[in-house]
Structure formats: structure tokens, C-alpha cells
Chain A
């Protein structure tokens, strides 16, 4: 691994996800942040004796090192220690747009200020005891959260709900161990039978259920956090692209590129039923010998195979093909299919009865991508399917990192092992297995920590807060 920089030098980063929102923030943290910003921020109030007044929003112009204006901005100065990083912190609210933000960022990089490592702001907050481990991880999730529900889940974890549940489980584990340990360390005084009773088994199952509950929330949490992949598939010229454009346009939704996703596999993100939906347009599928088209279709099929939701678009103005689903793709059991009858503005040759007859209980909806009709019905159908996939919104989504998920899975298998040991092994072994579960669970809340653990966490932090 590369030598890490652990100093408290001043760092800078763009701290809002690119492309979202009306403004973007460039943030600096560290003892040099005030002076760096004052050097390039042209503000009428700078002659004011109290300037920069903490937490006051200053209007002015950010200029580059040659004095050329780059952007209008609102700037707030927050002195240590009552800041997120417990260091001097400056936030520059710029006009959004990636170019402007990058230009502002570049000024500071040109000054020699270091670009923050991924998650470094949060890391500093964590290191200074501002937030605990599970809160720090929730911050990452919050940054990545793309919808309202995800934000709520992040906030919940941030407020320590996950930590609370885990602490409860830990104390239950210890409660089981206590009498076993008493019997082991006081064999003469504790002459009764070992307390490894039916009650213990029941309690272990309860603990396992609690862990499973946390894990079940993960699928929901993941969907909130990473979005649900929805592939738009169908034959050529059925209106897939116009449907996509219509959906995104109607929603005035967050439309942006997702990092790490190639352009041709992703076309936009919209929020639906509280879930971020990653809409993917694919090439039309039909019998063809053209190698380019063949390649496109191959790719479309593979995208559809990975999507959680498959939106099959059919032209309602042409006669129905009974084997249409089979022509397009083989469906997976975990995938949800919705049939969209497009072009409802034209005379219809497909009736809902056709679909029911040939495709079974597949939800379908008529829309006109051209005129924007039927879109709210479509959204309702999609939302219903998502609820079936991930459970209703009212249930707690769990937003956790891969690391936390691994820890929970390890604990489930530890508890299961302890349940088996309860029947077949001496008390000491059961107690040992429970001790390890207790220890492992501590990793979620940071009540126990190893350096591998810290490395793992910090590697997962994304840029910015």
C-alpha cells in the first residue's frame, strides 16, 4: 500500500455529488483553509473588523490566482473545534455545473492544497471522536443515498439505531454466557446443572432472528442506496427511448451519470416509490444477421438478465405476438417483469386480455410515450413491484456497508454454530462461540477495533464529507 498521509494538513474537495442539486460545494478543512479562501475570495465585507465572522454567509466572487473571476459564491467560515472535522472549515457554495466546480477546486490545488482522499473529511471527524464508527459509515451511505427514503435510512443509522440494536444483541449474548461462566469458574459453589436449557436455545434463536432482521433490511437498504436496475427492452421502434425520455422529463428527476457505469448501459436515474430507479435503455431485439445489431442484442440481453426490473415495451398498435416474452429474454425468478403497451395514442390492436392469456399474471399498463399518457399508472405499477421485491417502505431499511453485512453474516453463522454446540459440545465451546459473536458484533459499533478493520472502513469512504 502507498504510504498514507496522516497529517492534519489542509485538504480540499468537491463535496456534493456531481451533477445534483442547484449548487455545488467546495469544502476545505485544516488550519490553512481560512487563509487560502481569503486569498481568492473577493468579498465586500472583508474590511469588516469581525470578518470572517463564524457561520456568517458571505457573498462574493471567487477569483483564480491571476485575479480572473471564476464564479459567484456564498462562503461560510467555521473555526475549529465546533465543526464537522473539528478543524477550521470553509464551505464555498458555487453555481453548479461540473466545470465551475472543478475550476474553483483547481484554484486551491494550484495553491498547493491537497485534494482530500476519499472520505477524508469523515475520517477526520471520526478520528477526533466527533462521530462513532457506525455513524461514520452511515455518512458514506448518506453521501451515496439518491433518494428520500435512503436519506431517511442513513439518518436513522446516523442517529445510532443500528448501534443500538447491535448493542442489545451483544448484551443478550453476554447474558447467556454469564451463568455458563459462573458455573465454570465456580464449579464447587455452582453445583446445579449447567444452565444450558431449552430457554438458552430459544434465546439463541431469538438472537438469530434479530440478526436476520437486520440482514433482511439490507436488500431494501441496498436498493435505496445503489438504486434498482430497470432494463427497458423490446423490439426495435416500439418507443423504448421515447418512453425513457418521457419518464425522465416528466419527473424533472435527478438525471446524471453514475460513476463506474458505462454510458451505453445507463441512461438516467429517477426516483420512484422512494427508490432510485436506474433506467437502462437497450438495443431493440429482433431476428437479424447484422453483426453490429447482433452484438447490440447480445448486450441488451445481458443487461436485461442483470436487471431487477424488466420493462418490456410492446407497440400496442400492431398485432400481438403471443411468444413475445420468450422472444426477448428468459426471465429469472428474482426478476420482475412489467409489460408496457406503448402508443396508446394510436388505434390499439392489443387488448389486456391478450397479455393475460399468453403471458400469465404479468402486470401491464398502457401508455403513450409520445403524449405522456398513462405515466402515473405506470409509476404505480412499478412502485407496487418494487414493494414486492423489497418490502413496503414503512419497514426499516438497513443501510450498512459491505463490511457490516459481512460481520452480521459471520455472527449469524456463529450463533448457529453455538446452537449446535449447545446440543453436542461441552459448555465451554458454546461459551467460546458466543464470545466470538460478541467480539465480532463489537466491530459494527467500533466497540472493538483492529487496524485491518479501520483500513477497510476508510477505503470505503467516498469523496467529500
Chain B
């Protein structure tokens, strides 16, 4: 049974004296997932679906899958992650599709792989749907309790202790605590211990994890004010409508919004900026109250005004929180200023002259665990069976959290079942890019996915997420028949069409000329296959198919788009695939877990230090580490390539001789 822990700072808490607290054993589980946010939900579902008896602990049953910030999902990179989660048998895309308020396809003119869905989500509906999914899952139990201690036995997880005194025996624990560890909320010069939704954050768990040897650091983030719809004058604002023809997230289809509810756009102005500038003294990031680092790409309005002093306005998107509520979210204007100042500067903005705030904006500082403490499976290096996913790893975003949750949940299940770990490579998925970045390079600011983080971006298209990943998901047993069938149908259709189109030949002067002319496409000079014709940007597959007199069968989501991408960008795609192959020999070479970097005598001191800390699993991972130069990499290659000629003993002897020779 767990040992009482010492709450070192002397504050009185109900856990203080464990001897007096009657602990009671509650049950045995394979896995305990701590936290039912976006990471925890995916993790618990994945583990349960993979056969693990799973317990999901949440601080508040009514706060499951809570969207504490934007009521939206997707965008470049993030939308890709949602598709990947779906392709692997995760839940986020399906739940989102049931609760769409509006959908738009972004970046349509910028290229095949950077197009991405962005959707406004009904925040209440999302929580309800996700909770239903959890409740329906057979091997999964949801329970309200705060985890306060990870109980270990000889360095491995053996149980989780709740605030209630409940002892949950388990083989593995997965911590998805979001910003609920050691968090503090700031409203101007006011600050207090709290987490989003005014829940109580956990401090004891942080202390316990520190005792287990895990390190923590502080990040900062913020959220904008929520306001009354009825207090806004929309007459002069720019509407941002949804696109009725835009698809949903899940590759299996479904999920058109009930109606496309518009967003609205307005701008700050010089008067707004003046009000904010006048009150810098009470902005916690400038007054010195907040010490944690915030994300550069999601700055508060005070940050924007300082860093982009030459801009006289900043856009604000007004987004609905739910179809059944009057609450609106003001994207682009998160702030740590006091509520009175918030009202004052908001009322200088067009359309917001009489705005009423429902929830004031706040800044929040919280504990995260630098993710270099994790293996690529998201298991901690220190404690066997303890996994971390989501914001605790220094990321931001629901999608980033969910993707980590899914991978961590799968890997926890793999560990419990004694199976091979589940690893996504950088050329396979943005999820793989993200996790590799986290555990290899760590984070200097809250980590958000960008498409530019992927060096094989052209291969990571939103419409081929299933082609990339569903087979993998099926192999481990996470992809159900419906999803798998949809993937197979898409794959077979595309392969069949590529073959068919390549076999059709069109001659100059033939019947196809009329079709070409109708599409303002140049006449033929030489015979071309239908496939070659379709490489022309102005020739769409649908138009050609129609001209052929054929009817499109009902197809899974994204089939035609993916087919066209494969035809039109074949050359470029092949180029990236070659690049993947070229580096695979180096990048996939494993470094043994216990490799002794002290014995690779020629490494630079900085590289050795970093390598010992991060312990990369492959040479590829090592090559991406900061402080590891090509020379260090060469040394590693040499040491790894000579197992039998120079074992550990021989190296030691050599070094010994080296020392003797010196006076």
C-alpha cells in the first residue's frame, strides 16, 4: 500500500496526514488515465478498445472534454492531426462532426498538402457527445476524483491514490492533467490558485512526481473574454460565413452542420491600444507577476501591441460558443488585464461599443513537465508504466493533446500487453513529427503544431491520413470494421482509377479535343494518356469522368481530392518519397537503450550531456537534437557500427592506455 507523503511546505491540506486518512482499495485496472480532457478521452478510449480495463479519473464529471479556450478545431496542422486521430480509430473527428457550427476549408489555393479544415464547434454538444462515447465503452469506467499520488513499486507504477483516499491498483498510469497542475489564474494584479472552469488544481501530484524524479517548469497562456451576443452591434461588422460544401473531419463521412452559423470580424484601433498601453502597469506579464513563458504564436493583446508597435489594428474573430447559448468568444484578444480594463478597451472597438462580458479574460500559469523526460512512446524514462500526454508535455491545443493521448493510450496498452511500442515516423504523420519534436528537442515555449514543422509535408495530406495510417491502426486492433472498409474502398478506387486512366490513350484530333477546348485546355500535339491529361491543372477528375459518361459511385470522404493530388503532384510526391528513402538508413538505425555515451570518447561534451539526458532511440532522433553536430553523429555511427570488433571492454582498455601514455 502507498506510503504517506509529506506535504513539505507546511500548508494544511486534507492529505497532510496520510496516517489518519483511511485508504481503501477501490479496484484493479490495467490502466488509470488521470484527466478527462482531450488527451485523456482519446487515451482512455484507445486503451479500453485495445482490451485494457481502464479507469478515467476526472475532477468534475460535467467538465469532460471541456473546450477551455476556442470553441473551434482544425486549421493547418491541427486539422491534419484530427484526420490522423480519425484514421487511427480515435474519437475526436467523429465527436466534432456531430457538433459542427460551421466549417471552412482553408488554404485552398496554396497547395495540396496544406489545405485544412477549420470548424466552429458547439462546445456544450462536444462535451455531451464525448461523454456519451466514453460511457458506451465497455472496458472503461469514468470516476470523479483527484489523483494525488502515483504509487510505485520498484520503479514501476503500481497504483494511483485519489484525494478521497481511494487506492486504484493498476499496471500503468497515464497523466493527462492539462493545465490543472499547480495552476494559478491572473486577472490584472489579482491572482489566485485555480484552473479553468474554476476547478481546484492539484499541487500534491506535482510534489509526488518530483519525488519520483520528474522535473517541472512553468508556462503561461491566456484566454480572451466571452461576451453577450445581444450586447454586440453586428450591423457594421464583417461576417465570416461557413462553406456549406466543406466536408467534416471524419474520413467515414457524416457530420454536416445543422446550419452554418457565421463568425464575425472586427478590429482593434489606436484608441484600444492607448487604453491597453495606459494599463501595462497592471498587466501581469509586464508587472513581473507571471514568470512562465507564453507562446509567441498566440500572444496576448498586450504582447501584440508591444511587439508589433507599428500596427495600428489587430483582427478579432467573434465566434459562437454553442448553438444553444448567447455566449460569444473573442478570438485574438486574450489578455491578463483586470476585468474593468477589459471592458474599457473592448468598448473602443467597432461593434463592441456596448459590450457586456460574461466571462472575463484571464492569464494562467501552470506546471508542465519538460517532455525530454519522455521516451518516444510518451512513457516517462524515470518511472516504468507512467505516461504523459497533452498540455503537461508543454503543448497547447486540443488537437495536439488528443493526438498525444491517442498515441500514449495505445502505448500504455502495448506495454500492458507486452507488445511492441507504437511509433509514428515523421514521414508518416504530424502526430509523429510532434512527438519526435517534443521528446527530442524539448520545448522553449508552449508547442503548437505547424505544417512547416514537417519536413515531408507534401506526404502528410489531410486527404490521405487514412491511406497513411489506417492499416497501422487496424494492425494493432484499434480500427473498427466500418472505418477499415471505408479506407479499403478509397484505396482500391484510387488504385483502380490510376491504372485505368493510365491505359486510356487520346490522339490529337480525337474526340477528347472538344472536351479540352471546353475546359480552355490546349489541344494535343502528341498522343497522351488520360492520366497525363489529368496532370493539367485545368482538367479536373470530376469533369473528365463526367465527359467519359461515367457516374461516380458513392465514395469515402476525400477520395476524389486524394486521387487528383496523386495525379497532379505525382512528381513532387515522388521527390519527397525519395528523400525519405535516402535518409531512412541513417534515421532508422536504433541506438541501444543502455548505450554508454561515456565510452564514445570522441563526443563533444555538450553532445554527450544532451545525449545522456535525452537518450534518443534512433540516430535520426539524435541528428535532430540541438548541440549534436554532424561530427558527433559520425562518432555515434562509428561506435554503433563496430559491435564485435570493439566491445565495451576494448574501448575501456584503449582509454586506459591513452591515460598511461600521458605524463
Interface residues of A (CB under 8 A from B): 3-9, 31-32, 34-35, 79-80, 86, 88, 126-129, 132-133, 181, 183-185, 187-189, 194, 424-429, 432, 435-436, 439, 446-452, 454
Contacts and interface: CB of A to CB of B under 8 A. Distances in A.
A367 to B, nearest CB: 53
Contact of B604 (A3, A80, A129, A452): A129
B110 A432 contact: no
B26 to A, nearest CB: 45
B80 to A, nearest CB: 11
30 contacts: A7-B650, A8-B601, A31-B654, A31-B661, A79-B662, A126-B631, A127-B631, A127-B634, A129-B604, A129-B629, A129-B631, A129-B632, A181-B451, A184-B110, A184-B451, A185-B76, A185-B450, A185-B452, A425-B572, A426-B110, A428-B110, A428-B113, A429-B572, A432-B458, A449-B623, A449-B633, A450-B582, A450-B583, A452-B585, A454-B637
A249 B658 CA distance: 49
Interface stretch (B9-17, B509-517, B638-646): B638-646
A188 B113 CA distance: 17
Given A126-B634, A451-B585, A426 B112 contact: yes
Contacts of A129: 602, 604, 629, 631-632
Given A128-B631, A184-B114, A185-B451, 14 more contacts: A4-B638, A6-B638, A32-B661, A34-B661, A126-B634, A181-B452, A184-B76, A184-B107, A185-B76, A426-B109, A429-B458, A446-B631, A449-B630, A450-B586
Nearest to A455: B637
A80 B658 contact: yes
A446 B455 CA distance: 18
Q: What band does the interface of chain B fall in when counting residues whose beta carbon is under 8 Å from A? A: 35 or more
Given A88-B661, A129-B631, A432 B572 contact: yes
Given A34-B661, A450-B586, A451-B586, A183 B110 contact: yes
Contacts of B284: none
B106 A188 contact: yes
Contact of A128 (B450, B458, B602): B602
B188 interface: no
Contacts of B113: 428
Nearest to A133: B630
Contacts, number: 137
Q: Which of A128, A432, A454 has the most CB of B within 10 A?
A: A432
Interface in B352-394: none
Interface in B574-629: 575-576, 579, 582-583, 585-586, 601-602, 604, 619, 623, 629
B634 A31 contact: no
Contacts of A8: 601-602, 654, 658
B77 interface: yes
The 9 A-B pairs at the shortest CB distance, nearest first, are namely A428-B111, A449-B630, A426-B111, A6-B638, A446-B630, A187-B106, A31-B658, A181-B452, A451-B586
B601 to A, nearest CB: 7
Given A8-B601, A127-B631, A129-B631, A185 B458 contact: no
Contact of B110 (A194, A439, A454): A194
B240 to A, nearest CB: 8
A428 B114 contact: yes
Contacts of A34: 661
B490 interface: no
Nearest to B572: A429
Contact of A187 (B75, B623, B646): B75
A132 B645 contact: no
Contacts of A35: 661
Nearest to A458: B634
A122 to B, nearest CB: 12
A6 B642 contact: yes
B220 interface: no
Interface string B70-94: 0000011100000000000000000
Nearest to B642: A6
B518 interface: no
Contacts of B110: 183-184, 187, 194, 426-428
B178 to A, nearest CB: 24
A185 B113 CA distance: 12
Contact of B111 (A3, A429, A436, A447): A429
Interface in B204-229: none
A32 B586 contact: no
A461 to B, nearest CB: 13
A432 B106 contact: no
A228 to B, nearest CB: 34
A132 B76 CA distance: 38
Contacts of A432: 457-458, 572, 576
A129 B607 CA distance: 11
Contacts of B552: none
B508 interface: no
Contacts of A80: 658, 662
B657 interface: yes
Q: Which of A4, A188, A439 has the most CB of B within 10 A?
A: A188
A425 B111 CA distance: 8
Nearest to A130: B631
B86 to A, nearest CB: 21
B635 interface: yes
